[in-house]
Amino acid sequence: MQNSVGLVLLTLLQALVISALPASHSARVQANIEASSSNSSRSATQNQNEKHTSTWESQFTFLENRLQVQTVTLTSLSSVQSPTTTNATQSSPATSGSIITTIATEGNPPIQPFPTSISTVTQSTLQPTDVTATPQNGSTSAPPPIITATLTLPLTTFETVVTSSTVASIPVTTIVSVTFITVAPTTYTSNGSVVVTSTAGPTVIETTATVLSETTIAASATVTNTVSTVVSTGTLASIWPSSTAVCKFTMGCNSQSLFDPVDVDPPPNTIPNVGGHPVPRLGITDMTGPIETNKFYFNFFLGSQGFPAFVMPYSLSWSKGSGNAQSWGMAISHIDENQRAYGPGNKNIPGTPTSYYINPLGIQSVILSAAELGSQTILTTDSLEVLSGYANLSPSQGSNSHIRFPMVQGMAFVTGIYTSLQPEIQSSIFFRSVQSAGQPKLGIYKYRLTLEDGKVWLLYATSSYGVNPNLKLVSSTMLQGIPNWSGTIQIGKVPSGASEDLYDDACGLYPTSGAISGYATNSTAQYSLSWTKGGPCAVNGTLLMFALPHHIDSFSPDTVARITSMKLQTTTKGVATAVIADYWVMNEELPTSMGFSPWRPGATAVTSLSEGVIAAIQNVSALEASQDMNAQTNLNSMYFSGKGLSKFATIVYTMNDLSKQPRLAAAALAKLKAAFAVFAENRQQFPLYYDTDWKGLVSSASYRTGDSGQDFGNSYYNDHHFHYGYFIHAAAVIGYLDPAWAQANKGYVNALIRDVANPSTLDTFFPIFRSFDWYHGHSWAKGLFETGDGKDEESSSEDAMFAYGLKMWGRTIGDHSMEHRGNLMLAILARSIQSYFLMDSSNKNQPARFVGNKVTGILFENKADHVTYFGANAEYVQGIQMVPAMPFSTLTRTKKFVEEEWVQYFADGAVDAAINVQGGWKGILFGNLAIINPQAAYNFFSQPDFNWSWLDGGASLTWYLAYTAGLGGT
């Protein structure tokens, strides 16, 4: 009798759960109890257990009428469970996954990245004018003009909403009365404690317990009325509403803010609003504002919704009934380095580097699912932000039950937030064993999952009502919990040989969203990635987040102190390192001295050239400026048009500032303004639309032709930073030479910037940083195209071109926040490009057998392929990372890298000797040579019989002469 009553009482008391559902003020619980007693004084023939059945009842009285009693049944389980059955579709673990060896080319037609049929002139027709340009030299020091707009928003826009989690015990007096009749003295115990000692005859047991608890969320009041405020652009950071209570930066928060709004007005009225985008917003809920189109979670709202979201270091994918487990839950995958697949070696390249590497898809290591999920399951997303988003799985449309998944780049746990479902934790790799590992924190139940591939994953379950999920291994592919369960389940992978303590300390909380902030003083900037938190331990706990190599290299000393020894491989960004911190602070040196003229890091910008160089430029500049600018810029492609405008802008700048031709420059400037006006007035062949569905500026080309690949997929948000960066650079030059023009065209140019890189939520017309990924440190070019290998970028140099244009336009119009933001993006890009795209011999982040290619080619979230979308020639694959040759080229492309690449590919006798390359790529290669051998590069461009076909449609001989001479050629 010493165990039975105590076990029943314990089980029943644990199983009474208060849930926040409509109910009456009271509830009654009844249960039958079987008790046993034995009499040691009786004879052997009489000594047998006598069973007695009784009924107890308890009355619960609630002050809160939304509470009700929920009864669950818990099963006593072994601390280590091993599967005895399987319901898998195949008998062996699915550990290999699948690979995509082809490249999805939607929106990327096989077209050279510049016009190839540029008409030239043989004689200058440019006539000098008496009105010369009056450039603004250097950074504008005068206060910028203030543009104001009245913005009416909910008052909560300017209010910090603070949430906190509190656990309150509810004293529920539970009296259990059990009457027994015994024939001998009997002692009754519960959990080792004596409840009562009886004599022969009736005995009454009574016990009282208060074991119930309730979790509540407290939040600041939300005011629903609106407030009008005057928002001024271009002013100091202190005027902008902020929810940051404590400054994170050692330089302080009173210096130049890097994330002031560009503007808050609608786009120019010359750009019409158009709905009905070719790609519908699939499954996106509770969002009426701008939607991020180029972020890591994009596959969840496109097409089949079956391709992964690469959250780093994990990937998530909706199983949709696939795999061994036939699950409809969210599959979690992490790929170790030894699981990668590699392409064939390129025998033409020294060292025979592999042509590509790829991480397998479809490996469903652990799946967060529920018994209710099946063929009617729907996937929705919401709260899609710059660093985070939410995915939701519901059993059917309209169901109140669901699993909610916060997706935040760098998260150490994959977290599923369950509402009224029966959890099923599944694996297509098969569970080898499941071990109950105690409670690292009160109310958090830990399980150690060992899979058949030998990998160990940890599971942490926290009930909303304090109930053990009682996870039972029912087959080799399924671990099942109790019905109608609510709470969070967190999954993390244990690196080989690593301690579990870090996960134990960090469980019970998770990131819910991320934010970017930063400040600059002179040539130094600090920026931060910070996260809001959720979970029962959010108030007192600190997040565990994974940082990429370029983050670690720029961490401030305070953040360095938070680095741990835990590491996990990423798909294409080397090894990630776990950091215990709710925010990271990174330091960068800014290229503030970089301007329009040739430049090297650590040196002053070039402001004058030798007389011999000036004479050489004067021989060709007027001729090039006499070309038909309108014919070369008003094309059926925003990309080609922008390259043409930028080309002529560099010619005009060189003539005005470097080659002593101010009157001819003024005449050329007038032609350039007229060419640019076609776009500012939206009169080009395919005018821009303001897409009211996704919220952005897109080409009308695909709307009119039905071809998603028209203009490289611009209508689908492909390549916007590539396309618009050239326009912004051209505008910066024109505005530098004519400040009045800059003010008149500010709205149009700023709209292009806002589409690609809107820095503020106060601007409600565009998403935040559509292209630039502040976690990865570079942009993604892929727009609204579903792809198994995730987002990609082909031209890291044109990524830097956008940041350079942003910097210079900010300088031109006196927007200091914009200028410093462009500087910061350039500094981060230089670090990430050198870490992941341009691989010198010391690179440790890309696979050793791939580094010999020197560039990644197309870098995806899940693979790297040493090709381009338009061909595999060495000059294509290497050269697309060189264009255009601009002052920033020496920042992103180090001398060490350029020398190694040149010797391997383009030196005389090498794989693809530059002297033998034809067409515009020849000019690109020799322009790049100026970084390490400016004299040889200058000699190439200044040769008397220079062939004009060696210039691509976005380049000029005028600029190449100035550029190579400015870097040291004579």
Residues with a catalytic annotation lie at 719, 794, 798
- Cα separation, 372 vs 934, in Å, equals 68
Tell how many helices (H) and how many strands (E) occur in the chain. 21, 45
Task: Say how many C-beta atoms besides its own lie within 10 A of residue 908's C-beta.
Answer: 8
- Cα separation, 824 vs 258, in Å, equals 8
Phi-psi region of 486 (alpha: psi -120 to 50; beta: other; left: phi over 0): beta
As given in the structure block, the two tokens for residue 623 are 């001729």
Residue type, 441: K
CB 857 within 8 A of CB 868: yes
**Neighbour-count burial of 164, counting CB atoms closer than 10 A to its CB (0-12 exposed, 13-18 middle, 19+ buried):** exposed
Alpha-helix runs per DSSP H in 572-692: 611-625, 629-633, 638-653, 662-680
CB 652 within 8 A of CB 956: no
E-state strands within 259-336: 273-274, 309-310, 315-318, 330-333
- Cα separation, 12 vs 154, in Å, equals 48
Q: 773 pairs with which residues across the strands?
A: 778
CB 199 within 8 A of CB 185: yes
Cα torsion 361, 366, 367, 371 to 10°: value is 150
- Cβ neighbours of residue 117 closer than 8 Å, sequence gap 6 or more: none
Residue position matching structure tokens 């030479």 = 737
The total number of residues shown for the chain amounts to 970
Rounded to 5, what percent of the chain is helix, strand, coil? 25, 30, 45
As given in the structure block, the two tokens for residue 809 are 């336009």
- Cα separation, 813 vs 819, in Å, equals 9
- Cα separation, 205 vs 191, in Å, equals 15
Backbone phi and psi for residue 598, each to the nearest 5 degrees, phi listed first = -55, 145
- Cβ neighbours of residue 758 closer than 8 Å, sequence gap 6 or more: 261, 262, 765, 766, 767, 768, 769, 770
As given in the structure block, the two tokens for residue 543 are 């997040």
As given in the structure block, the two tokens for residue 616 are 């050489």
CA-to-CA separations, 695 to 436, 493, 927, in angstroms, rounded: 49, 38, 38
Q: Select from 706, 689, 714 the least CA-distant residue to 638.
A: 714
- Cα separation, 114 vs 656, in Å, equals 26
- Cβ neighbours of residue 425 closer than 8 Å, sequence gap 6 or more: 366, 367, 368, 369, 449, 459, 471, 478, 479, 480, 481, 489
Q: Select from 946, 964, 969 the least CA-distant residue to 889.
A: 964
Our measurement of the distance from residue 114's CA atom to the centroid of its chain's CA atoms, rounded to an integer in Å, reads 30
Strands 688-691 and 273-274, bridge-based pairing: parallel
Cα torsion 734, 723, 275, 267 to 10°: value is -20
Backbone phi and psi for residue 699, each to the nearest 5 degrees, phi listed first = -65, 145
Q: Select from 549, 470, 458, 548 the least CA-distant residue to 506.
A: 458
- Cα separation, 677 vs 679, in Å, equals 5
Task: Say how many C-beta atoms besides its own lie within 10 A of residue 844's C-beta.
Answer: 11
